[in-house]
Amino acid sequence: MEKVYGVVLAGGSGKRLWPLSRQGFPKQLIPLGQSSLLVQALTRLQEIPFITDAAVVTTQEYAPSIKEKLDNDILIITEPESKNTAAAILISCLEIAKHDIHATVIFAPADHVVVNKQAFSAAICAALAYVSDNDQLALIGVTPTHASTAYGYIERGHDAFLRATDLYNIVSFHEKPSRHVAHTYLSMSTMLWNCGIFCARVQTYIELFMRHMPELYAQVKEGRYSDITPVSFDKGVVEKVHNAVVVHGKFSWTDVGTLEQFIDEAQKSAACSNEPCGKMVSLESHNVRAYARDKLVVLFGVENICVVETDDTIVVMNTEYSNNMDKIVEHLYKKGYERYL
C-alpha cells in the first residue's frame, strides 16, 4: 500500500457549542477529559497501523491556534475560510496529490468521541484495505443506540459482499429524520448512523469532484474561494455516488455537536478519570444537565434544562433546542454582543 494520510476535518467554528466555543477558540480545541477533541481525533488515526502520515485541514483563522497544540510533523492544510466539508476535502486532496498522487486518504471530523479504539481501528483498516484494490469510496457507519434526529443514516445491504467482513453495499442515505421515523430506523438491523468518515484513493476523490461538483472543483483550482457556496461532502458528492460501500463499525460513537452531548461526554470522561466536572445539585428535576467551571448550579423542580456557565456567560436552555444554538449566536451578532462570541 502507498502512503496513507489520516486527515482530521477541523474547520468548523462550533456555533452549537457556544459559549464553550468562541471565535478565537473553536470547538475542536475544547478540552474533553485530559486532551482536546482535536488531539483525540488525531491520536485515534495515528494509532491505526496502515496510516503513515497525519494532517489537519482548517481555516487560516484557526491554523495558528491549532498548530500551537500539535507536533511539528503534522501537516496543516489551510482554507481561506470555512466553506463546509466538500471544499475542505477537495483542497486537502489537491494538496496531498502534490506530495503523492497515489496516496490513500481517510477523512474524520474533529468533534467525535469513540469508545473501543480497537474496533475503530479494525473498521478503518477494513475500509483502507478495500479501497487500496478498488476505485471506490468507503464510509464508516455504526449501529444506532437511540432514535437520534440529529444524525444522518446509511441504509446498508442485508449481506456483507465479502465473506467474513463487515463491508456492505449502500442502499440509500437518510438525513436527520423525524423522531417517529428515527424510531423506525432504530428497529432496522440494516440502518446505520453515518459517522462522516470517508476513505478513498486521492485520485478517486478528485475524479468524484470533477464529475459531481465541477463548479466547486474549478473554484478551488482557480483560487475563487469566496465564490464557493458551502455544501457538505455528503450532499455534494457521496449521495450521488452509486458504488460507495460502508463498513459496519462495532465501536461506540458520538458526534459532539451540541452542548447537551458535550456535557454528557464530559461527565463520562470525568467519571472514568475520577476528575471533577463542575458542581451540580438536582432535586425533583428530570433530564437536566449542567456544566460550570466555578459556580455551584442548583436545579430544583425543572425538567429538560441545560445550564452552561463560563467566565462571562450563563446559558439556560431547553434541551429540545440544543441543535439550534447557532440561531442564538446569530441573534447575539444582531444585538451587538460580538465580544461574547
C-alpha cell at 181: 421515523
Q: What is the pLDDT of residue 124?
A: 95
Alpha carbons 37 and 269: distance in angstroms, whole number: 12
Q: What does the pLDDT look like over 20-30, one tens digit per residue?
A: 888 878 888 88
Domain map (residue ranges) of the chain: 4-255, 278-340
Which pLDDT does position 200 carry in this prediction? Answer: 97
Residue-wise burial string across 139-155, b where 16 or more C-beta atoms lie within 10 A, e elsewhere: bbbbebeebbebbbbbb
Name the fold adopted by 4-255: Spore Coat Polysaccharide Biosynthesis Protein SpsA; Chain A (3.90.550)
Nearest to 141 by CA among 166, 117, 176: 166
User: In this predicted structure, what is the pLDDT of residue 192?
Assistant: 96
pLDDT of residue 274: 47
Residues of the chain with pLDDT under 70: 1, 162-164, 270-278
pTM: 0.89
